[in-house]
Amino acid sequence: AQILQYMRVAPADTQINDPVSLRKALEYVYAGCPWINIKNVMRTFRLGTYPTWRARAMFLNQIVASENALVSEIDWKQLAFLPGEVNEFGEVINRAKARPRRLEPGDEICLGLDGGKSDDATALVAVRVSDRYFETIHIWERPEVLDPEEKWQVSRPEVDGYVQNAMAKYKVAAFFSDVEFWETYVDQWSQQFRGTLRIKAGPESYVGWDMRGRLKESTFANERLRQAVEDHAILHSGDPILKRHALNCEIRLNSFGQSFGKRG
């Protein structure tokens, strides 16, 4: 004889910090298990007895990322602003009723550029100051199909064009860019936009944020970002490319705390 067991999985939009959302999910998962004390399970979540990823796997039957992942796919999906999405209960998910879905001209934003050269991707991302909504301006990646004899490099003039357009289209309060491989452009942008940027990226540059010499500050900023993701304090556009890069990050410990880097 064979015994087939059906395992219910909690909806992906379950918010473990919201008692109503968590209870509803637990009642769904354990609908056929009257011996489970849901109050005790909720108390376990509240006390933080287990890491978030482990608690979701143990009690909500959700497939989550490992402990060394920067963010889990579930947490990332919950932050995507996708009006009209329907969860497992047939309910329309609408987490940001009063917020515009996309960036609009004139919005006050901060820009971030992580510039690569050939193998690494180059990404220009914006975050709206008012509600911490993240949107990809553009991401450049090495083409998957490429002649082995051909050497690809990101088009720097094209990246500069996107920067110039973003600066003209939005009210940019701050623009932080990593420096390596981009020294000339960072210096140019710093001089060009020093009259409009309200926040300097560093003591010697309005734009340059040199990751090589600011490990402590970068680590603290990374920890705040990770906590904001876990607390659902930010939103993003649902860009699949940005998602792939975010889920490919893993935690890297250093003397100052938890930083991160790409897998592999």
Nearest to 42 by CA among 68, 10, 71: 10
**Mean pLDDT value across residues 164-170:** 98
CA 225 to chain centre: 8
Give the separation between CA 43 and CA 81, rounded to whole angstroms.
Answer: 29
In this prediction, residue 261 carries a pLDDT of 77
- Between these two residues, 93 and 11, which has the higher pLDDT value? 11
- What do you get for the CA distance between the two ends of the chain, in Å? 44
Q: Given a cut of 90, is residue 74 above it in pLDDT? A: no
Q: Given a cut of 60, is residue 5 above it in pLDDT? A: no
Region of poorest pLDDT, from 5-9, 54-58, 105-109, 218-222: 5-9
191-193-197-202 Cα dihedral, nearest 10 degrees = -30
In this prediction, residue 140 carries a pLDDT of 95
Its pTM stands at 0.70
Asked if residue 183 lies in contact with residue 120, where contact means CB atoms within 8 angstroms, the answer is no
Asked if residue 249 lies in contact with residue 262, where contact means CB atoms within 8 angstroms, the answer is yes
DSSP 48: T
Give the separation between CA 171 and CA 80, rounded to whole angstroms.
Answer: 23
Nearest to 210 by CA among 181, 242, 245: 181
Pairing of strands 108-114, 122-128: antiparallel
Q: Given a cut of 70, is residue 96 above it in pLDDT? A: no
Give the separation between CA 121 and CA 229, rounded to whole angstroms.
Answer: 22
Q: Given a cut of 70, is residue 65 above it in pLDDT? A: no
Give the separation between CA 139 and CA 144, rounded to whole angstroms.
Answer: 14
Q: Given a cut of 50, is residue 1 above it in pLDDT? A: no
